[in-house]
Each structure stands twice: as C-alpha cells, then as structure tokens.
Amino acid sequence: MKKLEECSEEDVIEHSYKARFIPDKKISGNHRREHCVASLDQINRIGKTIGEQVRIERPTENGTALALYTVVGDHARESDIVFMGYKIRGDLEERFDLNNYPFTGKVEAQVTAEGLSDKQAENCSEFIERLTDNGVNQRLVVIAPHGGNIEKFTDLQADYIREQFSSDHVSEWICKGFKKGGGAYDRWHITSTDISENSFPELKTIMGRHFEYSIAFHGWTKNYICIGGKAAVGLKQEIKEAIEEAISDSGIDVRDSGCEDFDGDNEHNIVNRLGTQGIQIEQSEKARESNYKRIAEEVAKVMRPRIEV
C-alpha cells in the first residue's frame, strides 16, 4: 500500500469543502429552490463545475440535513460562501432544519450513494442510481429520474417497460430517493432540464448513445396526465389516446398539449437529450396510485411495433 507521505498534491482529490450558506433572492427561475451559486475555484477543486449537481449538507443534533442542488453560477465573494435560491423561506428552513442564517455545512461532490441495495437506501434515507443496459442498444431508453419516494410509482413504470422487451431493444435508467418521515422530493428532486450526466455516473455511460426513443415517467401535483416531449406529434397523440381509453373509468384528463408550460419539450430536458423522439409522461398522484401499471402497459403496446423491428 502506498504511504500517505508518498502522495503528491495531485493525488489527493477532495470530495467536499466546508462552506457558509446564505439565502439569495436574486437567484431566479422556476426551479431556484434547487439552485445555488458558489465559488468556481472551490467547485472545481471537488471535481465539479457550473451546471452540475452537488449535495449540500448541514450537521444537526440528530444527524445530517441535506439536499441536492444544481450549481447555476459562480461569484467573486469569499470562496467559502454559497448562495442558495429559494421560493419561500421554508424551502431552506424545512430542508435544513434551521431558523437563522448563514448556516455552516459542506458541499459534497458525490450525489448518488454507491454500493447500497434498494432496502439499504430506504433505511438510510439515501439516493441511488440504477442502469440496465446491454452496452449497445439504441432503440429505446426508459427513465425515471425521480423514483423511490420522490415521485412514487414512476420507477415501477420504467421497470415494467424494461421487462416487456429484450435488452437488445430497451435500456433503463432510474434514480430512487428516500427519506424517513417524508420529504424525499424536497431532498432529492433535481428538475429534468438541469440533470447533468457528470453527476450521475451510470447515466454518463449512455449519454452519447443517441437512442431512437426515450420515455420518461414523472409525477406532478397537477390533477391530469400530460404526454409531452420532443417526439413526433402523432406518437404523443397515439400514447395519449391509448392511456385515455385504458383509464377512462378514472375520470382523469389526459392531454398531449396545453400542459401549462410543462410540455417537456425543452431541449435540455434529459429525456430529449437521450433520445431523438423524447416522450415525457407527467402524471397526477391519483393516476400513479391507481393506474401506474395500466399506463405503463399502454405505453409498451404503442412502442412495441416501433422498437421490435
């Protein structure tokens, strides 16, 4: 084994740095509660850069309060300062279990926990990433970036699609986040347009694959289902009609347009970066709870003739 003294400076990679966190209402954008601005030097030192995700951690009396953030910019102030975006003050106070600012803690480079089983991740209130891929498939990738308890049932829907096809035709990428007592969404959610493959090592291995089709399952707080994404209008319409018919008894509205700015057609959306024909399926809680499997079945039916050719 190499002795510590033999390590040159370059050998020592730091994975985190101590920081002071300050709320900043100047950080704008819809997802500012997931955004922070930090010193680029410090971020680079832990192997990260602008546009990537980090963990922000604060030691508390009963453990560690933490949340994922996307670094959206750098600043020229003292290098240990991190400015944090928020919509309401509760975004910070609840997440970090605090009542005054600034607070101290650390910025951690590693976002996903490695080497944990699903059960362990759940017990440890952790966040894990899973890839099922044969290394060459280019037909379809099905994803659920917010599985586990972040957006419940979405990972099961991705699993279902993967199980319907041979690994020559389908790959699957999912993340699962958990938090004991609730709050997995607050802790682990990173919006789809921000997800960087540099923070998700499994995702990185398929990022340059250029799949023909990509499908993302999501959950949201609206009361309907939206079939969005950059895929051809005809394909989205076909999926919409199939789901609509299958769950007509539920009374849940299914749309493929007019989804209040959440059409999933942003080119930065991870689903549109993975596949030429990206399909984003946003679903209400009720739709997922009562119909997650029927929805996935219909998606598989529509996709089968397209990917088994």
Using the minimum distance from each CB to Zn ion, give the nearer residue, 38 or 252. 252
Least Å from the CB of residue 44 to Zn ion: 29
Least Å from the CB of residue 145 to Zn ion: 6
Least Å from the CB of residue 271 to Zn ion: 10
Total number of residues shown for the chain: 309
Q: How many residues bind Zn ion (CB under 5 A)?
A: 3
Residue 102 near residue 74 (C-beta atoms within 8 A): no
Using the minimum distance from each CB to Zn ion, give the nearer residue, 176 or 218. 218
Residue 146 binds to Zn ion (criterion: CB under 5 A): yes
Question: What span, in angstroms and rounded, lies between the C-alpha atoms of 239 and 237?
Answer: 5
Least Å from the CB of residue 13 to Zn ion: 31
Using the minimum distance from each CB to Zn ion, give the nearer residue, 85 or 148. 148
Question: What span, in angstroms and rounded, lies between the C-alpha atoms of 123 and 178?
Answer: 8
* Span of 149-157, 172-180, 238-246, 299-307 interacting with Zn ion by CB under 5 A: 149-157
**Residue 17: beta bridge partners?**
107
Helices H / strands E in the chain, number of each: 9, 13
Long-range contacts of 44-52 (CB under 8 A, 24+ apart): 45/14, 45/17, 46/14, 46/15, 46/16, 46/17, 46/107, 46/108, 46/109, 47/13, 47/15, 47/109, 48/109, 48/198, 48/199, 49/198, 50/74, 51/194, 51/196, 52/196, 52/198, 52/199
Binders of Zn ion among residues 118 to 137 (CB under 5 A) are none
Using the minimum distance from each CB to Zn ion, give the nearer residue, 72 or 271. 271
Handedness of CA 88, 267, 202, 277 (dihedral sign): positive
Question: What span, in angstroms and rounded, lies between the C-alpha atoms of 291 and 297?
Answer: 10
Residue 95 binds to Zn ion (criterion: CB under 5 A): no
Least Å from the CB of residue 211 to Zn ion: 19
**Residue 23: beta bridge partners?**
84
Using the minimum distance from each CB to Zn ion, give the nearer residue, 31 or 209. 31
Least Å from the CB of residue 254 to Zn ion: 17
* Span of 41-49, 139-147, 196-204, 265-273 interacting with Zn ion by CB under 5 A: 139-147
Using the minimum distance from each CB to Zn ion, give the nearer residue, 20 or 87. 87
Packing angle of the helix pair 233-246, 285-307 (nearest 10 deg): 130
Binding mask 204-233 for Zn ion (x = CB under 5 A): --------------x---------------
Binding mask 34-63 for Zn ion (x = CB under 5 A): ------------------------------
Least Å from the CB of residue 280 to Zn ion: 9
Residue 288 binds to Zn ion (criterion: CB under 5 A): no
* Closest chain position to Zn ion (CB): 218
Using the minimum distance from each CB to Zn ion, give the nearer residue, 252 or 281. 281
Handedness of CA 110, 78, 98, 50 (dihedral sign): negative
Using the minimum distance from each CB to Zn ion, give the nearer residue, 42 or 154. 154
Give me Rg for the CA atoms of the chain: 20
Could you tell me the two tokens for 223? 């009361």
Least Å from the CB of residue 284 to Zn ion: 12
Cα–chain-centroid distance for residue 78? 30
Q: Which residues bind Zn ion (CB under 5 A)?
A: 146, 151, 218
